[in-house]
Amino acid sequence: MRWWDIDVVNPLEQELFPLDPWSIDQWWRELAQLHNHYFVVESAGELCGYAGLSISGSDADIQTIAIADSFQGKGIGRKLLNQLVARSRELGVTYIFLEVRSDNTSALSMYSSFGFAEISKRAKYYPDGTDAVILRRDNRESSP
Ligand SMILES: CC(C)(COP(=O)(O)OP(=O)(O)OC[C@H]1O[C@@H](n2cnc3c(N)ncnc32)[C@H](O)[C@@H]1OP(=O)(O)O)[C@@H](O)C(=O)NCCC(=O)NCCS
């Protein structure tokens, strides 16, 4: 992902995370950080998904991952997550962390199939009172 993708990502962000979308300023800040790695996926020239990883030594955080509504359920999220995991492994990351809404069954199922396991919960973390689940993947134990 590059700065010129922000104008396309921004409306997708509003649709996919209506309660707490990132602002355009936040996207610029994310892309400016050298330890962040952002990707987009395109289908027939149309940007249909995006995801980002933030690396800190041997740890990484998945900052976001999202696929446009009409492209969901076609294996694109899995490909993007695979890309994030692959990049983290190239950079010598041991643990990948992320937080996800406790009611986000699709994402939870995808993460679980990639070897992410719950390590804690943050009660009422999201603006609507939903809990956050903190997941962690050990790159030494899960493959690829
Ligand atoms: C979560 C998300 C990224 C998954 O992307 P996707 O392209 O739809 O997912 P894929 O088609 O690659 O499927 C990957 C896995 O997700 C899970 N999944 C996807 N859709 C699902 C559904 N409707 N119900 C249950 N599990 C589902 C499955 O485990 C699936 O693996 P499988 O096909 O082997 O069963 C996508 O639904 C999304 O963008 N949601 C809105 C934004 C969001 O919630 N992001 C996550 C924030 S933490």
Residue of the nearest CA to atom 12 in ligand 1? 75
Peptide bond preceding 21 in cis form (omega within 30 of 0):
no
Record the pTM. 0.97
Given a cut of 90, is residue 143 above it in pLDDT? no
pLDDT tens digit sequence for 14-71: 999 998 999 999 999 999 999 999 999 999 999 999 999 999 999 999 999 999 999 9
The sheet that has 95-101: what strands, in order across it?
36-43, 46-56, 59-67, 95-101, 132-138, 117-122
Ligand 1 centroid–CA 140 distance in Å is 24
Domain spans, the chain:
3-138
Nearest atom in ligand 1 to 100's CA: 48
Q: Assign 101 a pLDDT band (cuts: 50, 70, 90).
A: very high
The pLDDT of residue 142: 78
Find out whether 62 and 97 touch, Cβ atoms under 8 Å: yes
* CATH of the domain spanning 3-138, picked from 1.10.10.10, 3.40.630.30, 3.40.50.720, 3.20.20.100: 3.40.630.30
How far, in Å, is the centroid of ligand 1 from the Cα of 110?
A: 6
For the cut 80, the answer to whether the pLDDT of residue 144 exceeds it is: no
Tell me how far the alpha carbon of residue 106 lies from the centroid of ligand 1, in angstroms.
4
